[in-house]
A and B are shown apart, each in its own frame.
Chain A
């Protein structure tokens, strides 16, 4: 069932503006892939009207997790939801990260900023299962924006953090930390999710070194399943550059497909 109006929240954790909900959804858990997302209704009634796109953070036997940050009224209302209450969600949506090919023993570097870290846990676990050596670059403005560093470490990932104010890890942008590490050696693949300037910078670093990079784009979405054509980005393929739907054609694109200069 792609539309689950009553997914029961079985656990929730909060760190300031950041929230993690675990909910029961056997159908979703059976089919969801890393990089996919759900469209979540934030409240009853018509204001807020639209659902919000939220990345799938992890999944297991009959359950899934979302991780999000309060960014406005909709997500603030969503954050009030308690254990035992339900979520109305549509998903899994989008194509997810491409994990084909041999990963055993190869290095996969994951780069996330702020709420953009959300899909990288699910992804890192999938790469781990394929035998990849997973390293996570996790950036935020302050240490308060990096609440999941311990969770990523506990999963066995090699985690490097950065903060703009130096309150945790490297002082500076996560892209600067990445650039420093790339000088010492390159991974077999980069996987990225975060604010647009960070993703654009990471894409350029990857392209300059011929490292395949997969970028998970974000957008305001009307529907999330390809019907409204509201969430487009200029994407270059054999048929030239076109506005493509982030929800349906993405949200994950190869770094060299994305034309950043246009909105």
Chain B
């Protein structure tokens, strides 16, 4: 059987499959459906310092092979997470990444400061790219300098691995990726959702309470692959690819395009055991194609 381990430099994962923030709750919700110990890792739902209300419903609309969400990062806050969730997650042998949110730069740092005192966290994914919390999808990841500054500030606060999660809603994803690398990110994850609109023709109103939302699912995969490829060629730090991964072949396409690991997102909603099925399909593909180590295919796209 093929070696599925994924080396991120700062951390070696059992396999390249992580679950994407916002699609896997705090992890425990999925324990009835799959063995969390067999995942490469979990990126938990984004955390602000305090509990967060989220956006008014409707928060979801389905589109062709896609899902637009405008949840607005409703969540429990760091204290509740540390007291009630983290102790449960520590019982599992899997890498837990916390997706760190902030209304401003200071809040990102407060979240990190609080979590520094907590065991059982493999690293932070800096969520600088959620399109659903400010008007018109504004977020630090739309601007190279804002990205560099927040990444550098977070870097100075923690020695834990720091992943910057990038937005696709930009003119040049490579410029943002380089800014995050300059700021000291250990890895990049991309893509967050694509800013989108769904219209109810009869009422001529937006279908989402927040008007705009973020598009995910198979519909975005080609865009995510393109950006993964561009970014992986441009930076020296590991890239974690995501966007519409539904099966092992999708995940392997991201790796061929340059991703050293992947995240599975929307698929978790449709099939709560999807992430493990994807791991198994990747192993089967490697075995069928004589690939001894899945890491050997990273960045092998002949282009």
Binding site for B on A (CB under 8 A): 2-3, 41, 46-51, 90, 219-223, 225-233, 242-243, 262-263
Contact = CB atoms under 8 A, between A and B. Distances in A.
B69 interface: yes
Contacts of A226: 25, 29
A227 B71 contact: no
A223 B30 CA distance: 11
A228 B56 contact: no
A227 B218 contact: no
B248 interface: no
A230 B69 contact: yes
Interface string B237-273: 0000000001000000000000000000010111111
B59 A232 contact: yes
A243 B66 contact: no
Contacts of B56: 243, 262-263
A49 B66 contact: yes
A95 B229 CA distance: 45
Contacts of B268: 223, 227
Contact of A228 (B53, B60, B246): B60
A48 B122 CA distance: 36
Contacts of B75: 229
Interface residues of B, number: 37
B106 interface: no
Nearest to A226: B29
Contacts of B217: 46, 49
Contact of A220 (B33, B53, B58, B74): B58
Contact of A223 (B57, B61, B272, B273): B272
B281 to A, nearest CB: 16
Nearest to B30: A227
A243 B54 CA distance: 8
B23 A228 contact: yes
A221 B273 CA distance: 18
Contacts of A47: 64-65
A227 B57 contact: no
Contacts of A233: 57
Interface in B66-100: 66-67, 69, 71, 74-75
A46 B65 contact: yes
Contacts of A51: 269-270
Contacts of A231: 57, 59-60
Given A3-B33, A47-B64, A222-B269, 8 more contacts: A2-B33, A41-B270, A49-B270, A50-B270, A219-B58, A223-B270, A227-B23, A231-B57
A243 B29 contact: no
Given A48-B62, A50-B62, A50-B67, A225 B57 contact: no
Contacts of B271: 3
B120 interface: no
B272 to A, nearest CB: 7
Contact of A225 (B29, B59, B64): B29
Nearest to B268: A227
Shortest beta-carbon contacts, A-B, top 8: A230-B60, A227-B25, A223-B269, A46-B65, A46-B218, A263-B57, A47-B65, A222-B269
A219 B59 CA distance: 10
Nearest to A48: B62
B53 A263 contact: no
B53 A243 contact: yes
Contacts of A223: 268-270, 272
B67 A229 contact: no
A12 to B, nearest CB: 24
A263 B269 contact: no
A91 to B, nearest CB: 11
Contacts of A50: 62, 67, 269-270
Contacts of A263: 56-58, 209
